[in-house]
């Protein structure tokens, strides 16, 4: 029943003309950023096919250059940046689609899962507990994961790899920009200052060791950030950071608070078009209690 209601809302947003109005008013002269996690190649190709007809896909580097110069004169109308979070091993299967549509996405890597058989922490516990665990202080979250689900950040699950390995990253780097997504994907606003610092700096060092060039892009896990996070990023040489705050970007946007029009990994065409208006994400943040960074999770 709930799915049917949502499907109706997506249909109405698309065919009422609202989606086209939002595209004209907000997307034409600003930069849209969409973010995925682990989409199937089938869904990803359908989405890229749609984007290629209605948007101009640019890289995060091009967006950064325009923001630094305070000019979008070299950026086309209806520009869009595609990003992917976490670094799932299945992202490698998207490479042929990236080549086909000739664009350069940014893939944010969870550094200490690369080339291992470690697991993303939220895949090791009951699905219903994930949101509650996100609200706990970082040390308490880890302790509960260990006690109830025998999870340890460095535990290897033999024969069950979840993240990209080094050879896959090497084959992708000609066509993909890579960014940072912390070591183990904690909720940074639930970490102490030292925990934040370690997660960010150790991640940067690890990814730069693998790729052998400086990495200057960052994505906040779960979209949560605060002033301490931004200060650490500045000091360690990160130039730009993407949130999950809803909206579009222009030359006046904060380089450490880039906004997104969030799309779903498995979204239908109606859902995709509705999500590009930012309306579904706006209401998602509304019900969480905040539109920027540190969500109200009490």
Give the start-to-end residue ranges of the domains of the chain.
Answer: 2-111+163-288, 116-161
Per-residue confidence (pLDDT) for residue 102, from 0 to 100: 97
Q: What percent of the chain has pLDDT over 90?
A: 88
Mean pLDDT estimate for the chain? 94
Per-residue confidence (pLDDT) for residue 180, from 0 to 100: 98
Per-residue confidence (pLDDT) for residue 106, from 0 to 100: 98
Residue 298 has pLDDT above 70, yes or no: no
**Distance between the two ends of the chain, CA-based, in angstroms?**
28
Per-residue confidence (pLDDT) for residue 7, from 0 to 100: 85
Residue 42 has pLDDT above 50, yes or no: yes
Residue 124 has pLDDT above 90, yes or no: yes
Residue 91 has pLDDT above 90, yes or no: yes
Give dist(CA 143, CA 59) in Å, integer: 39
- Per-residue pLDDT of 227-252, as tens digits, reads 999 999 999 999 999 999 999 999 99
Per-residue confidence (pLDDT) for residue 296, from 0 to 100: 38
- Per-residue pLDDT of 183-222, as tens digits, reads 999 999 999 999 999 999 999 999 999 999 999 999 999 9
Per-residue confidence (pLDDT) for residue 291, from 0 to 100: 55
Report how far apart, in Å, the C-alpha atoms of 162 and of each of 37, 51, 137, 171 are.
12, 28, 25, 18
Domain 2-111+163-288 has CATH 3.20.20.370: yes
Which pLDDT band holds residue 289 (cuts at 50, 70, 90)? low
Question: Of 232, 202, 212, whose CA–CA distance to 110 is shortest?
Answer: 202
Give dist(CA 65, CA 68) in Å, integer: 5
Give dist(CA 286, CA 250) in Å, integer: 23
- Per-residue pLDDT of 126-156, as tens digits, reads 999 999 999 999 999 999 999 999 999 999 9
Q: Are strands 177-180 and 106-109 parallel, antiparallel or unpaired?
A: parallel
Element containing residue 188 per DSSP (H, E): none
Give dist(CA 241, CA 223) in Å, integer: 10
- The pTM of this model reads 0.94
Residue 278 has pLDDT above 60, yes or no: yes
């Amino acid at each position: 029943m709930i799915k049917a209601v949502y499907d109706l809302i997506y249909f109405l947003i698309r065919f009422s003309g609202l989606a086209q109005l939002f595209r004209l008013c907000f997307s034409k002269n600003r930069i849209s950023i969409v973010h995925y996690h682990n989409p199937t190649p089938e869904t990803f190709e359908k989405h890229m096919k749609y984007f290629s007809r209605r948007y101009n896909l640019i890289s995060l580097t091009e967006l950064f250059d325009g923001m630094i110069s305070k000019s979008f004169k070299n950026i086309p109308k209806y520009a869009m940046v595609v990003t992917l979070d976490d670094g799932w091993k299945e992202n490698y299967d998207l490479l042929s689609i990236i080549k086909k549509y000739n664009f350069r996405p940014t893939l944010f890597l969870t550094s200490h899962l690369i080339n291992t058989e470690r697991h993303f922490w939220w895949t090791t516990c009951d699905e219903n507990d994930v949101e509650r665990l996100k609200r706990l202080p970082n040390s308490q979250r880890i302790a509960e994961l260990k006690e109830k689900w025998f999870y340890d950040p460095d535990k290897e699950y033999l024969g069950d790899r979840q993240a990209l390995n080094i050879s896959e990253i090497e084959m992708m780097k000609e066509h993909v920009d890579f960014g940072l997504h912390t070591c183990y994907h904690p909720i940074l606003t639930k970490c102490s200052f030292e925990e934040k610092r370690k997660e960010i700096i150790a991640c940067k060092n690890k990814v730069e060791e693998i790729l052998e060039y400086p990495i200057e892009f960052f994505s906040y896990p779960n979209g949560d950030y605060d002033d301490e996070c931004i200060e650490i990023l500045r000091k360690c040489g990160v130039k730009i950071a993407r949130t999950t705050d809803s909206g579009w970007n222009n030359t006046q946007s904060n380089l450490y608070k880039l906004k997104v029009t969030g799309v779903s990994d498995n979204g239908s065409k109606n859902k995709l078009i509705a999500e590009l208006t930012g309306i579904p994400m706006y209401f998602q943040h509304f019900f969480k209690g905040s539109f920027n960074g540190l969500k109200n999770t009490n």
